[in-house]
Amino acid sequence: MDEPADLRFADLGLSPELLKAVDELGYETPSAIQAQAIPPLLAGRDLIGQAQTGTGKTAAFALPLLQRLDMSRRDVQAIVLTPTRELAMQVAEAVRAYGKHVGPHGVRVLPVYGGQPIHLQRKALQGTVHVVIGTPGRVVDHLERGTLNLAGVHFFCLDEADEMLNMGFLEDVEWILEHAKSDRQIALFSATMPPPIRRVADSQLHDPVDVQIRHATRTVERIEQASIRVARHEKAEALERLLGVEDHEAVLVFVGTQRGATELAEHLQAHGFGADCIHGGMNQAQRDAVVKRLRARNIQIVVGTDVAARGLDIDHIGLVVNYDLPRDPEVYVHRVGRTGRAGRAGRAISLWQPRELHLLRSIERFSGQPMEPMRLPGIEELLARRRERLAEQLLTLQAEDLGEFVAWAQELIAANDVDAETLAAAALRLAWGEGPLHAPESAAAPDTGDAQGGPIDYVEIVVPVGARDRIRPGAIVGAIAGETGLPGKIVGRINMRDSVTFVQVPRQHLQLILERLADVRIGGRLVRARLAHPEGGDGRPAGRPQRGPRGPRGPRAPGRPHRKGPRRS
């Protein structure tokens, strides 16, 4: 069912501090999931929230969570489990924004996930942390090390439970809940309810309120949609090239976090684009000023988050770029709907990483329209489009616009014994600026998963898991791709033994792979990859910095099940 049209956030029983934050973020009326989930969660009830769309889902559990915190305490009181690091960071930023007026200094939120040095997370947990948001594997890791304690935790949220099932996290989730206090409160959100998720709900939740939100599939037939596969570390350059060849009066670029919006806008500005950002960390006057500049065509590109872009209605937006894919398919539809207004043609392009293929397919199913795979423009295409634009500007100038410049040109030709062709070439050089007119033959586009050609210089690493750990080679390839953002096909020959696996990887990516495959989980085991044939005398590859000693681990908690299948933290 939908929420009543006249329902307000003030009607849900939220504190003045939370209502102030909600108002500052531009929320007007609660969504269906918020209207139905917030009151029972405030009352301390367990809850199952089932909805194809997660629009407003974070606020649905975060606002009650925040209201029930005891700000006089310094320990962790709530844990939110998410399937991916990206979602953990997004949820953490949202919880901080909602809780910025709670307590004298706001709520202390800590995201924890694999791929980030665990000693930094351990140090943060020694201070004041009210809410931990993380992937199940890394939360289990902290519990085993004794750096996270469940004694004060009274609230758990399982966000995107079906996705945690798909990624092999469900046994970790159950292990965490089984070691929590018996009087804890649990909110479980899942787009679907497969039997394993229903089993967790039946065994772990007490008399839960069941909220189901129906939706109608929405289509975006009028908008041309495309997608580009790109590695994480190449995304900024990919966006530059895309913006360099696409011609639109106004462009919206969507990212997942406030910090990401600020940093990406600054990056585009530094590379000559007329860009600015808009996000929930800005006050309303600042956001209005950015929108005013876009309407007046003083800037062409706005980088924004979903919360800040609510209500943004500008007819001349011709392109929407999903720099970060949204977790929720309906959010994608809302984003794409910002273009193609007032009968104009609309276009949407999504950048996606190899680990996000399932998310891309989910969006396509929901929107009812596949995204056309698109090749990232190469440097020569970029330069060719720039040449075309400059030529168009030159050739559209009429004789009456040139006026005395014709006389000046004739004067320069006569006085300096130079021909008109040379003078025109000099003028073009000045108009073009620095840089070549054509791309060198060696120039290549960022890695979009296509073969680059030429022999690959492989080196061999050792991953301390093998056949007896009941994992498959695909789990190792998945861990490398998932932790580094590199396409899985860069991995060469895999030789799996009983307890270790030898893996060939390109030498050019060795440092990144070793850094990211330190303290990660593969098939349920915490592993650290190393070079198989060290080039340095101390067993490390030459030039790799020595890691500090690991801190003491706490006693292994009893009863932890052996996990099956590949998955990463």
Which residues are registered as beta bridge partners of 275? Answer: 301
Cα–Cα distance, 60 to 461 (Å, whole number): 45
On whether the CB atoms of residues 437 and 382 are closer than 8 A, the answer is: no
d(CA 8, CA 389): 50
d(CA 397, CA 378): 30
Close Cβ partners of 384 (under 8 Å, ≥ 6 residues apart):
none
pLDDT band, very low/low/confident/very high, at 344 (cuts 50, 70, 90): low
Task: State yes or no: pLDDT of 564 exceeds 70.
Answer: no
% of the chain exceeding 90 in pLDDT: 30
Cα 530 to its chain centre, rounded Å, is 28
| HEC string for 134-198 | ECHHHHHHHHHHCCCCCCCCCEEEECCHHHHHHCCCHHHHHHHHHCCCCCCEEEEEECCCCHHHH
What type of residue sits at position 218? R
What number is the average pLDDT over the span 25-38?
85
Helix, strand or coil for residue 222? coil
Sign of CA dihedral 308, 349, 265, 394: negative
| Confidence grade of residue 279 (pLDDT, cut at 50, 70, 90) | confident
Q: Which residues fall within 8 angstroms of residue 337, CB to CB, at 6 or more apart?
A: 220, 223
pLDDT band (50, 70, 90) for residue 486:
confident
Rounded to whole angstroms, how far apart are CA atoms 475 and 341? 44
Q: Please, which residues have CB within 8 angstroms of residue 527's CB and are 6 or more apart in sequence?
A: 463, 464, 465, 517, 520, 521
Residue 173: φ, ψ to 5°: -60, -45
Higher pLDDT among residues 192 and 546, named by residue: 192
Q: Which stretches within 25-166 are classed as H helix? A: 32-42, 57-67, 85-98, 118-125, 136-145, 161-166
Average pLDDT over residues 25-41: 87
pLDDT-based confidence at 452, cuts 50/70/90? very low
Rounded mean pLDDT of 220-231? 83
Separation of alpha carbons 67 and 230, rounded Å: 40
Q: Which of 506, 396, 518 is nearest to 119 (CA)?
A: 518
For residue range 115-172, what is the model confidence (pLDDT) as tens digits?
788 889 999 999 999 999 999 999 999 999 999 999 999 999 999 888 888 778 889 9
Per 3-state DSSP, what percentage of the chain is helix, strand, and coil (rounded to 5)?
A: 40, 15, 45
Mean pLDDT to the nearest integer, 254-281: 87
pLDDT over 70 at 247, yes or no = yes
3-state secondary structure of 344: coil
pLDDT recorded at residue 534: 63
CA distance 538 to 540: 6
Residue-averaged pLDDT of the chain: 81
Q: CA 298, CA 386: separation in Å to the nearest integer?
A: 20
**And the tokens for 109?**
């939120």
Question: CA torsion angle for 410, 414, 417, 419 (degrees, to 10)?
Answer: 30
Cα–Cα distance for residue pair 112/134, rounded to 1 Å: 5
Contacts of 511 (CB under 8 A, 6+ apart): 541, 543, 544
Q: State the Cα–Cα distance between residues 344 and 224, nearest whole angstrom.
A: 12
Q: How far is the C-alpha of 420 from the C-alpha of 477, rounded, in Å?
A: 61
Helix (H) or strand (E) holding 242: helix 235-245
**Quick check: 94 pLDDT over 80?**
yes
CB 146 within 8 A of CB 546: no
- Which of the pair, 140 or 220, is modelled with greater confidence? 140
* 167-211: pLDDT as tens digits: 788 899 999 999 999 899 999 998 788 889 999 999 999 999 999
Domains annotated on the chain, with CATH:
9-213 (3.40.50.300), 223-377 (3.40.50.300), 381-432 (no CATH), 455-569 (3.30.70.330)
Neighbour count for residue 179 (Cβ, 10 Å): 14
Q: What is the 3-state secondary structure (H, E, C) of 274-303?
A: CEEEECCCCCHHHHHHHHHHHHCCCCCEEE
Q: Which position has the higher pLDDT, 458 or 64?
A: 64
Q: Kindly report, residue by residue over 492-515, the tens digit of the pLDDT.
A: 888 888 788 889 898 888 988 998
Helix (H) or strand (E) holding 364: helix 357-367
**Range in 296-300, 440-444, 521-525 with the lowest mean pLDDT:** 440-444
Q: Residue 566: pLDDT above 60?
A: no
Cα(327)–Cα(100) distance, rounded to whole angstroms? Answer: 24
Q: What is the pLDDT of residue 440?
A: 59
Three-state SS string across 443-500, please? CCCCCCCCCCCCCCCEEEEEECCCHHHCCCHHHHHHHHHHHHCCCHHHCCCEEECCCC
